[in-house]
Structure 1
């Protein structure tokens, strides 16, 4: 029986992460703006001797700084959605020069940027030659976060080995990550890979087989039907992608409550703080034989790795987000739009990682068709029901 891994982001987020890491709910999703810009008259007074105010930022391109000048000093601001345009249309422009900081990168081929100024955060996507604001918050301009839909993202860790396609192997790591519209990341729900469920393609089997028979779409539908939780998007990676993401981040800082030994005979983590390289991070995501609760403990460790990614992203700060996403993007696949990814990842900075519940749905061990399986019952249904609004415990 193959083991698997789960991406970070971060994810996504997280991931996530992330990441973390990262198809949106049609009833919640903002409608495209009828106009791609919003204008606020500048309140700056001219002087024959004083230089006009401007926005500067070390290492940021001139066209991005021009867009930030329009945002802060008054002028035409291009936006991606009507809700962002409406929010920025009420801003109170500033009157003097200011400095910003941030990073740029690419996500699935689209240039992106995250820019901070004090407690302000601006999320931008470049459409052709134009930088457009996709979200953020601007307390210095008396504008707070524009409406963003609550989302529930399915993070899938495929057991694909290179060169196997990640979308046609078993989905051994499965986590629903909820992002509440107002309070940030609302929880992580792990689903044991041996859970016995009806497949979207017909018949009953372990939930990890759904990816083999139905691809990502089949897996999403299977999870929706088994859990009752609406899934608004997915992120997926395999062994190779997971290792590459860990390397791109320079490792993962993971705080362990106890030592974990690998089935291959080496210690994966020691109690306390560990800096995991790609080998040890993948081993932790896969190990179950040395855990007292087997697959349930493995799923909990996978969720803990996601939370570790959130902690790292928070320490780097929101200005670094575009650069982090640029490193991770090539190693995973998703159906989320670039604007959704930016807004979802920005939610990492709304609440602390310590406040993100990480739960694995419980189940009884049984036998079906000669296989040891997990039978989900009332305890699992209770957690799934709690996650429907994207937030555990509320």
Structure 2
């Protein structure tokens, strides 16, 4: 699960030099002969600075990043590639100085940035030099460049502290779809679903992580669901608690109160700010739910959606900072460019209305275990999310 951070990054003032060249004006006499030599009638005006060139400024943003923003808004070759470069090549640049806002962060060793000017959003990654990797620029008459539909598997491992996250059971499994309109849906898979494993044999779907690692878990879900999985994020108990603490808790509105098996109040009816302990308990509790594991999976999806709502409220300028806070606490095969663009999708629609569902199944017994047997209803839900959007 991927909640965002509201923490701010340190700010530093960036001073940009203004270039000016002195212009000397010489007066000459009307007499062409006298113009050949100086005379007492010749006059010279004092040096005057030329008007400064307009620049893009932004408090707390590094100079080399602002230099790229200068090319975006005031002209020049923008460091970008593919569909982003093609889109920006058609922009309508201006001639006036601008002020932008934004933050920087680090995602798996590379610097990332999100910069805002009015309703414009620019997403950048620094791999040696800053490069624009996405965004949208209505002030420049440029729409969001085409971004492919993606289906990401969010994996919650039941690894405790010191246990290998990618070799324990995958107890929380959610396919998150993202298309051109934003986040298109969240589909939960009960951990006891009885499916063929990519490593061989048939078992509960959460066992795929134990026997095949994260690649085995992804392959198992893809095969069982028929949904192509384009990437994953995974965290264990420690990572989940770390993310929740880093962002100062998860704001969650509960329609009813819930107690844990340890007899403490997890949530109250109404608005809650869940700290790491309560958020983890909410994601794990099932014994006090009438539909058990199905209800728990639904709650996990609700936490994912609540994180998206918080990110939207924080605004796109905070996006890079939020990602920087989350990065140390999870593992993923998504590139910084993909993570930026996927995360920015929460600003394209209203994540509060994102559909969150859990595939249906019947309770059965296999190998003397209580399991969930997926059937036609589950297959219909999987087919629905294949294009990245439920109900499309």
Q: TM-score, normalised by structure 1?
A: 0.88
Deviation per residue, 1:204-229 (Å, 9 max, x gap): 10000000000011111110110000
Contact 1:10 1:345 in 2 (8 A): no
Give the structure 2 partner of residue 227 of structure 1.
Answer: 225
Unaligned 5+ runs, structure 1:
1-6, 12-46
Contact 1:57 1:65 in 2 (8 A): yes
3-state SS, counterpart of residue 174 of structure 1:
strand
Give the structure 1 partner of residue 78 of structure 2.
Answer: 77
How has the CA–CA distance of structure 1 residues 174 and 10 changed in structure 2, closer, same or farther, with 3 Å as cutoff? Answer: farther
Give the structure 2 partner of residue 338 of structure 1.
Answer: 336
Unaligned 5+ runs, structure 2:
6-47
Give the structure 1 partner of residue 184 of structure 2.
Answer: 186
Give the structure 1 partner of residue 57 of structure 2.
Answer: 56
Contact 1:9 1:345 in 2 (8 A): no
Give the structure 1 partner of residue 114 of structure 2.
Answer: 114
Give the structure 2 partner of residue 311 of structure 1.
Answer: 309
3-state SS, counterpart of residue 78 of structure 2:
strand
Give the structure 2 partner of residue 212 of structure 1.
Answer: 210
3-state SS, counterpart of residue 323 of structure 1:
helix
Alpha-carbon shift at residue 9 of structure 1 (Å)? 4.1
Give the structure 1 partner of residue 104 of structure 2.
Answer: 104
Contact 2:3 2:243 in 1 (8 A): no
3-state SS, counterpart of residue 85 of structure 1:
helix
Contact 1:366 1:374 in 2 (8 A): yes
Alpha-carbon shift at residue 92 of structure 1 (Å)? 0.6
Give the structure 2 partner of residue 8 of structure 1.
Answer: 2
State the alpha-carbon separation in 2 of the partners of residues 231 and 299 from structure 1: 19
Q: TM-score, normalised by structure 2?
A: 0.88
Give the structure 1 partner of residue 345 of structure 2.
Answer: 347
Matched, 1:286 2:284: yes
Contact 2:4 2:310 in 1 (8 A): no
| Residue pairs, 1:21-100, within 5 angstroms | 49-79=50-80, 81-100=81-100
Moved over 4 A (4+): none
State the alpha-carbon separation in 2 of the partners of residues 174 and 230 from structure 1: 15
- Report which of the two structures shows the higher radius of gyration computed on alpha carbons: 2
How many corresponding residue pairs?
A: 350
Give the structure 1 partner of residue 271 of structure 2.
Answer: 273
Alpha-carbon shift at residue 95 of structure 1 (Å)? 1.3
Contact 2:173 2:188 in 1 (8 A): yes
State the alpha-carbon separation in 2 of the partners of residues 390 and 151 from structure 1: 6
State the alpha-carbon separation in 2 of the partners of residues 97 and 245 from structure 1: 38
Deviation per residue, 1:69-94 (Å, 9 max, x gap): 11100012111x31111011101101
Q: Please, what is the CA RMSD of the aligned residues?
A: 1.2
State the alpha-carbon separation in 2 of the partners of residues 139 and 48 from structure 1: 35
Deviation per residue, 1:246-299 (Å, 9 max, x gap): 000001101001011101110100110001000000000000000111000000
| Residue pairs, 1:371-386, within 5 angstroms | 371-386=369-384
Alpha-carbon shift at residue 354 of structure 1 (Å)? 2.2
Contact 1:10 1:306 in 2 (8 A): no
State the alpha-carbon separation in 1 of the partners of residues 249 and 269 from structure 2: 18
Alpha-carbon shift at residue 50 of structure 1 (Å)? 2.4
Contact 2:306 2:352 in 1 (8 A): no
